[in-house]
Structure 1
Amino acid sequence: MLATIQKQQNNYVVKFNRPLSHSVDAVWAVLTENEKLQKWMNNLEIIDLRKNGKIHFNMNDGTNAFQEITITDYVEKEVLEFDWGKDTVRFELSPSGSGSILVLLESIGELTEHTPKDLAGWHICLGLLSDLLNGTVHEEFPMEEWQKWFAEYKQLVAYVEKI
């Protein structure tokens, strides 16, 4: 399911909506517990899980280099929002009749040539998250699938830029 992009007054909001057949507790655990988080987004490491807390974006290049990310909003089992470069990523989690709904919102100040790459990456990571909840762990990032979604998001971003 492709994300949507809406132009706002001063930015763009990208929305990924993922209904999941798992409880809020189970989904929250894969978002916030490092041993689970790193199975679908291996660069992220929760350091201090609270508002104004910290996450590390590890470069995973053997140098122990990382970027520090600030958690800008946090409500346990409901909201996890953090800086993403100049932008913001927000996970919103709510119960549904068949499990839960995970919404990822990325607030983007400016669409660039990197935007579709980032969006394709989030798309793949959300698929890896869903697979993890269903008991499948991927050892490798699925680059071929990423290429497919990158092409889709490149078209979507080009369309939104024309509006």
Structure 2
Amino acid sequence: MLATLTKNEPNYIATFERHYPHSVDEVWAMLTDNEKLPTWFAELKVDDLRKGGLILFDMGDGTFEEMTITDLSDRSVLEFTWADDSVRFELTSEQEGCKLLLIETITKLTDQTPRDLAGWHVCLDVIGVLLDGKQVENRKLQWEPLYEQYVEAINNLTK
């Protein structure tokens, strides 16, 4: 299911919802444990897991972008800056496992936006696959059609 995209002046909001048949603890570990985090998002590393702490984004050239943790509640909320935007994960326990919301607040739509949205979409799917004990063969094959769908969704939002 594609993210829900809405305009919330002056920003845009992308909300992804996933239901995993796994505990909040297992999903939280995927988001915050530096041994698990690179299995679904290789460029991210938690540097200091606390409000005001940092998440690092490896730029691939020996430098790191620092992203500040703006909200943190153990095993339920992780929010951090993402350039001029913000990314917020919310976890809630469900009878059959865990609900994850990823809410990205986007200050300005750019050509990069549908790429990022398709990327988050694939990453969230990969988390589920990995928690199920399986592997993902080719993320790019998943990403390409999603990218086109997010281009279309953004075009529809801005009409």
Q: Same fold (TM over 0.5)?
A: yes
Which residues of 2 match residues 6-155 of structure 1 at below 5 A? 6-59=6-59, 61=60, 63-138=61-136, 142-155=139-152
Seen in structure 2, the aligned counterparts of structure 1 residues 119 and 148 have a Cα distance that, compared at 3 Å, is same
Compute the displacement of 1:64 (Å).
2.6
CA contact (8 A) 1:39 1:137 kept: no
Structure 2 counterpart of 1:78, which letter?
S
CA contact (8 A) 1:4 1:15 kept: yes
Structure 2 counterpart of 1:80, which letter?
L
SS of the residue 2:147 aligns to: helix
- After superposition, what is the alpha-carbon deviation per residue over 1:112-145, rounded to whole angstroms, capped at 9, x for unaligned? 121111100000111111111111234x651121
Structure 1 counterpart of 2:8, which letter?
Q
**Aligned partners of 2:152, 2:9: CA distance in 1, in Å?**
22
**Aligned partners of 1:137, 1:66: CA distance in 2, in Å?**
27
Structure 1 counterpart of 2:63, which letter?
A
| Aligned residues with identical type, % of pairs | 46
Structure 2: which 5+ runs fail to align?
none
**Aligned partners of 1:78, 1:113: CA distance in 2, in Å?**
31
**Aligned partners of 1:49, 1:22: CA distance in 2, in Å?**
22
Number of residue pairs aligned between Structure 1 and Structure 2:
159
Q: Does 1:3 align with 2:3?
A: yes
Seen in structure 2, the aligned counterparts of structure 1 residues 146 and 57 have a Cα distance that, compared at 3 Å, is same
TM-score, structure 2 length as denominator? 0.96
Structure 1: which 5+ runs fail to align?
none
Compute the displacement of 1:65 (Å).
1.6
**Aligned partners of 1:29, 1:115: CA distance in 2, in Å?**
27
CA contact (8 A) 1:16 1:103 kept: yes
Structure 2 counterpart of 1:96, which letter?
E
Moved over 4 A (4+): none
